Structure 1
Amino acid sequence: MTDLIFLDSNGSSPLYMQLYEYFKAEIEQHKLAENEKLPSIRNLANSISVSKATVEKAYQQLMCEGYINNRNRACYVVNKLEETIVKPVYTAGKPKTSELTDNCKPRYDFASGEMDLNGFDFSVWRRYVNKVLANKERLFGYGHSKGETELRKQIGRYVRSRGVECHYEQIIIGPGVQSLLNTLCSLLKPTHSSIAFEEPGFTTGRRVWHNWGYTIVPVQMRKEGIDIRELAQSETRAVYLTPSHQFPTGYIMPVGERMRLLAWAQQNDAVIIEDDYDSEFRYFGRPIPAMKGLDSGGNVVYLGSFSKVIPPSLRISYMILPDRLLELYERNAALYNQAVSTIEQLTLAQYMADGHLERQIRRLRKLYYEKKMQFIDTIQRVFSNQVAIQDNESGLFIVLTVKRPGTSQDIFLKAMQHGCQVAPIQNYYWETVQESFPRVILYFSKIPVHEMEEAIKLLKKAWFEE
């Protein structure tokens, strides 16, 4: 069976969706019969060279839509389908994403860190768009490959609040972190063949590097951050980190550990990729300074995004390169076209210059702090001692331990059956781990305040009342 599976790692669709579409078509065409077993997650991942998380996510979607079921946890079998269901044969790399979304769209999405619908004033943004449109001469060109100078200068000022000092020429604008990672993969490919990731860690980031042919080295997380001793024992000379608010555990790497990691990087001429994905949302005390601000050896690549403070549909992220990688980028600048709209770049630059971004962050920080307190209070009241909350002082999510038998996949599916989508921690591991109780990530940013209690009661019904 697995010999016939072809996944396009360079396609626009995620690998798990391609895998989902393959099995869906096989079942609908009756090439996989009722009660026929699918390969185990581990065996399939090994045979087609993808992560276990990719296979698990595809299987979860198939289960959610009723194509397969899970017996004895590790055994996946095909469900009976009506004979009338016969659809065109699957074409690799062209999944029907709209069908995927429509079939299983949750009522409450706890798995998304998208903005609160009241979190952005579009009327202010519209004023700045109109100002940019009035200067038509700037809009009849492709712009600089690194991004518009005005925006890069504003970002240079902005990151000083994170303790980062840089020249605007070091800053590269991109339409999301994934796009910038593709650029970075190409820069490091001649000198690096592997990269370490936190375990658990950023799944999308790992997939990008894996698709470029890098060997992924999972390094265990501790409360103090990534295990530096384990990292040093590996042969990799690149590591991807979220030190100021580790995703998904929420841990913060102490300054002593950061200095040890920087010393390792300098001694081994290694590259540290620091993803500072939600640094704006620390609710108590001062913001944690970025590791890039401590980097005296030019070993840290710094990644940031505005997707948590302005609508993610605007898709503006940035990367700060150390000098040695900047020189390599500039030698190959013709290969890197700028993909972010000039209009949106210039709009954001003026929005920042007039102080609106700082005001927006302060407003969101207050909004999300109040939502988080209500979220935690409601969970504690509804669930009592049936769950344990791993709270932290930052971010837009909590980690919830669900004190009942079963796997994280069981928890995910039961929630989906009740109209709620959650994100199992297991999905963020490169390798399968055993847990005493399943753990899930719950984002609160997108859940309407007036529906929060109803949404959480649905989770309780899914997990403890059936």
Structure 2
Amino acid sequence: MADHMRLSLDIMSVDRQSAEPMHRQIYSALRRYILEGQIQAQTLLPSTRSLAEDLKVGRNTVIAAYDQLLSEGFIEARGGSGTWVAPIQQNRGAAAPSKPACNARRLSRRGQTIVNGPQPPRNAGVINFHPGVPETDSFPFSIWSSLLVRNSRSRDEALLGYISFAGHAGLRQTIASNISLSRGINCTADQVVVVTGAQAALDLVARVLADEGDDVWMEEPGYLGAKSAFLAAGAQLAPLKVDRRGWNLSDPDLPSPRLIYVTPSCQWPFGTIMRIEERLQLLDIAERSGAWIVEDDYDGEYRFRGRPVPALRGLDHTDRVVYIGSFGKTLIPALRIGYLIVPRELSESFDRAVSITGQFAPLLLQATVNDFIKQGYFATHLKRMRRLYARRQANFVKLCEDHLGDWITVRENDSGMQLLASFRRPFKDSDVVAAALREGLDVQGISINYHSTEPEHGLLLGYAAMDDRQILRAVLALRAAFMRLERS
């Protein structure tokens, strides 16, 4: 058996030019032979001296390889009889042939729901008209960098350990203090839960507050990311119909809700603002039904005429509203920092839930956001962005009127970072999206936001991240896409 083993190792060699140490090469080769069955269990291996002579390496090199294999259980030393391959394969059958895809291991039902509901892709290397993309060139990176470096050098246990899963104490207090002035919400720091972005907040809310089969009122049309989060939690969606005039809260077909998802400050995708009578009616419905309202305030900070509309939660005297905010659009998306303001009775539950789900954002980033806000840089940046986006929106609407008036209607909106483009002709927005991509332009149709009813077709065009030259280039590319469609 030993002679047979010696013959089978004739194919072994070491590469003296490789950066990998020779003992690792020997270890890796023997490990592979054993796992693949080329060296059978209960086979006597060559002595370290013999194998070293064959490979023309030092004996200590082979000893190091054998020691590693021994420590991992691939081989075993038997006193007086040498080194043998351990019986690790005796209960392993031969590798089964690959099975057809239909018999492959399946995802869980929840897993399948999650992967079937991703966000629409964004294509790299093209002009990007996608909604919700902020300007980053104007961000004060030098200030941000200095704050981040200072926090990185800190040895404060609050930044280095597991102190609070619900977020950095300073940032939670700062959010609680500022949200009262900016969005009309009165809360305490323990009601603030910091997570890795708005989508993480939606996922957390869905998992903590919705059981399988619960009815969730979902805006129709409404945000695709929210739909995916609620479906993944096993909820049943009931369409809360919205048009440019408002929300149909008196629809008799709506079931008694467990959750109600709304975007009242800038409805997605229409950009409509919920009127005060609708807000009060919605709060009454939640109180009567024992339901929670999920308020997604994704663009609430960006209002260009007058002050930002106070959040729905600011009217909530019965504590039924879970408010979701994010720094992704007011600072930079890559931060992946969002937050919830939860009813007081839920604060401890959400704190514990974050510790299980792992949706807590890095403390160093949270501390830096806190410093950025407290030292006044956030307010200055936000004011600058409001002015910039208002000017870009006006320019964008004029360019659309000048170059795209034959195909779409685009009107200015008081808030938001994107505008709804309605078709003048009976296009399918998926066809327009495909034609635009062939012109090097990435756009998003609005039909993907419909879940239960016949969709309206149009485009949701994000203008905020582009300067005047880039906007003109994008508008001309979209014009070429429409002309291509007309020729086809």
The TM-score normalised by the length of structure 1 is 0.76
Residues 218, 262 of structure 2: 8 Å contact kept = yes
Counterpart check, 1:195 vs 2:216: yes
Q: How does 1:369-408 map to 2 (within 5 A)?
A: 369-408=390-429
Counterpart check, 1:10 vs 2:111: yes
Residues 264, 274 of structure 2: 8 Å contact kept = yes
Q: CA deviation at 1:327?
A: 4.3
Residues 223, 252 of structure 1: 8 Å contact kept = no
Residues 239, 254 of structure 2: 8 Å contact kept = no
In the alignment, what sits opposite 1:110?
Answer: 129
Counterpart check, 1:433 vs 2:433: no
In the alignment, what sits opposite 2:296?
Answer: 275
Q: CA deviation at 1:210?
A: 0.3
After TM superposition, the runs of 4+ consecutive aligned structure 1 residues lying more than 6 A away are: 1-5
Quote the sequence identity (%): 27
Counterpart check, 1:146 vs 2:247: no
Task: Give the Cα–Cα distance (whole angstroms) in 1 for the partners of residues 364 and 128 of structure 2.
Answer: 31
In the alignment, what sits opposite 2:377?
Answer: 356
Mean CA deviation greater in 136-145 or 175-184: 136-145
Q: CA deviation at 1:181?
A: 2.1
Q: CA deviation at 1:452?
A: 1.6
Counterpart check, 1:136 vs 2:150: no
Task: Give the Cα–Cα distance (whole angstroms) in 1 for the partners of residues 238 and 155 of structure 2.
Answer: 49
In the alignment, what sits opposite 2:482?
Answer: 463
Q: CA deviation at 1:236?
A: 2.0
The TM-score normalised by the length of structure 2 is 0.73
Counterpart check, 1:445 vs 2:454: no
Task: Give the Cα–Cα distance (whole angstroms) in 1 for the partners of residues 125 and 112 of structure 2.
Answer: 26
In the alignment, what sits opposite 1:260?
Answer: 281
Pair 1:240–1:13, CA change in 2 (3 A): closer
Q: CA deviation at 1:412?
A: 1.2
Residues 212, 235 of structure 2: 8 Å contact kept = no
Q: Aligned match of 1:155 in 154, 172, 175?
A: 175
Task: Give the Cα–Cα distance (whole angstroms) in 1 for the partners of residues 107 and 139 of structure 2.
Answer: 39
The SS at the match of 1:235 is coil
Q: Aligned match of 1:165 in 186, 193, 212?
A: 186
Structure 2 gaps of 5+ residues are 1-99
In the alignment, what sits opposite 2:365?
Answer: 344
Q: CA deviation at 1:183?
A: 2.0
Residues 144, 338 of structure 1: 8 Å contact kept = no
Matched letter for residue 390 of structure 2? Y
Counterpart check, 1:412 vs 2:433: yes
Q: How does 1:173-192 map to 2 (within 5 A)?
A: 173-190=194-211
In the alignment, what sits opposite 1:212?
Answer: 233
Q: CA deviation at 1:106?
A: 5.3
Q: Deviations over 1:89-134 (max 9, x none)?
A: xxxxxxxxxxx87xx5352111242222323010010111122123
Q: CA deviation at 1:335?
A: 2.6
In the alignment, what sits opposite 1:120?
Answer: 139
Task: Give the Cα–Cα distance (whole angstroms) in 2 for the partners of residues 202 and 105 of structure 1.
Answer: 23
Task: Give the Cα–Cα distance (whole angstroms) in 1 for the partners of residues 113 and 331 of structure 2.
Answer: 25
Q: CA deviation at 1:217?
A: 1.2
Pair 1:172–1:140, CA change in 2 (3 A): same
Residues 266, 299 of structure 2: 8 Å contact kept = yes
Q: Aligned match of 1:328 in 343, 349, 368?
A: 349
Pair 1:134–1:255, CA change in 2 (3 A): same
Task: Give the Cα–Cα distance (whole angstroms) in 1 for the partners of residues 422 and 189 of structure 2.
Answer: 43
Q: Deviations over 1:238-288 (max 9, x none)?
A: 110000100101011101110011111111111100011111110011211
Pair 1:197–1:4, CA change in 2 (3 A): farther
Matched letter for residue 454 of structure 1? R
Q: Quick check: which has more Rg, 1 or 2? A: 2
Q: Deviations over 1:343-367 (max 9, x none)?
A: 1011111111111111110011111
Structure 1 gaps of 5+ residues are 18-53, 58-99
